[in-house]
Amino acid sequence: MAIDEFDRRILAVLQRDATLPVARVAELAGMSATPCWRRIQKLEQSGVIRKRVALLDRAKLNVGVTVFIAIRTSQHNAEWLERFRRVIADIPEIVDFHRMSGEIDYLLRAVVPDIAAYDGVYKRLIAGIDLTDVTSMFAMEELKSTTEVPLGYAGGKEEQGS
């Protein structure tokens, strides 16, 4: 799907607040409501907008501790990876799961109330699958965290960096 300047404006507004009425999104994007609504529908149908969610305050929900978990494994086959995916899917505290290049094979991010709760996550993780090395790093302070993706690259190479 080709992304133009109006789409980028709409996406920028929705990334900040997806609860705004279409008329307000249109106003902030510099267009009228009906074409804006059509564009939003097209962005949703094409999968550019995957879903709309509420961002929750982790500290107020007693999961204010962030743990990054670096995993190394000697297993590099599809069957093992599928088993690992299932293990991770069954641990709700793990909120991000990435396959990496370099010395670390997988990087996970978990949110928990404290170290004792993380120990429970760790025990479920190692009980579910064989791992070569697990290194846990606790975030001391969150300096930046956003769900907003940069929109300057959307629309093709000719528009990158603008």
| Domains observed in the chain | 5-54 (1.10.10.10), 59-138 (3.30.70.920)
pLDDT for position 155: 80
Q: How far apart are CA 84 and CA 28, in angstroms?
A: 44
pLDDT at 59 over 90: yes
104-132: pLDDT as tens digits = 999 999 999 999 999 999 999 999 999 99
Buried b (16+ CB within 10 A) or exposed e, 2-37: ebeeebbbbbebbeeeeeeebeebbebbeeeeeebe
